Amino acid sequence: MSETDTPAPGYDIPPELFSLTQVDDAGLLFISPVIHDWNIVSSSGIDTVIDLEGGLDVGVPTVPNQVLYIYFPILDEDLPDLEKLDALAGLGATLVGQGHHVLSHCGMGFNRSALVAGLILHKLGMPGPRVVERLRERRAGALFNERFAAWLESLG
């Protein structure tokens, strides 16, 4: 296993289970579990990564002006700071609106990544209840954290 294939500490997800799940209609917004292979990320055109898990990703590309890497570790329990979450989703929505490919990822790719991607979808015009429905359609098991799901649904 090369350095870029090493998962973040605390997550023992086999690399073959890593997948990008497209959650928008334009092919610009994705969610995923921990990144095992940056080649998959870059070959998918992703140029912005929102990392929500506890450890920094191994092998983050360091080539200037290649990848915007945003590290905002949050817990899969209560909602994070809503002002920061709103600002982060606003940036994500702006980038998607400009044609950038954005990946929101956490350890397993079900809750934290879906929370952020869901708020981005909402900022792009999708009603909260539809956001939750869409994420659950696209990624089986997404938003089993009912606090996250209920909050997104409340956005109307």
Q: What residues does each domain of the chain span?
A: 3-153
Cα separation, 81 vs 140, whole angstroms: 27
Q: Is the pLDDT at 36 greater than 60, yes or no?
A: yes
Predicted confidence (pLDDT) per residue in 103-118, tens digit: 999 999 999 999 999 9
Report, as an integer, the average pLDDT of 88-93. 99
- Which pLDDT score is estimated for 10? 47
The pLDDT of residue 16: 58
List of residues 6+ apart from 106 with CB closer than 8 A: 33, 34, 51, 52, 53, 76, 112, 113
> What is the helix (H) or strand (E) element at residue 103, kind and residue range?
strand 101-105
The pLDDT-based confidence of 144 (bands split at 50, 70, 90) is: very high
Fold assignment, 3-153: Protein-Tyrosine Phosphatase; Chain A (3.90.190)
Phi, psi (5° rounding) for residue 50?
-105, 110
The mean of the pLDDT values for the chain is 91
Whether the CB-CB separation of 130 and 136 falls below 8 Å is answered with no
Global pTM value:
0.90
Average pLDDT of the segment spanning 28-37: 94
Question: What phi and psi, each to the nearest 5 degrees, are found at residue 14?
Answer: -60, 135
Give residue 4's pLDDT.
Answer: 37
pLDDT at 6: 40
Contacts of the segment 137-140: beta carbons below 8 A, 24+ positions apart: 138/21, 138/22, 138/23, 139/21, 139/23, 139/31, 139/109, 139/110, 139/114
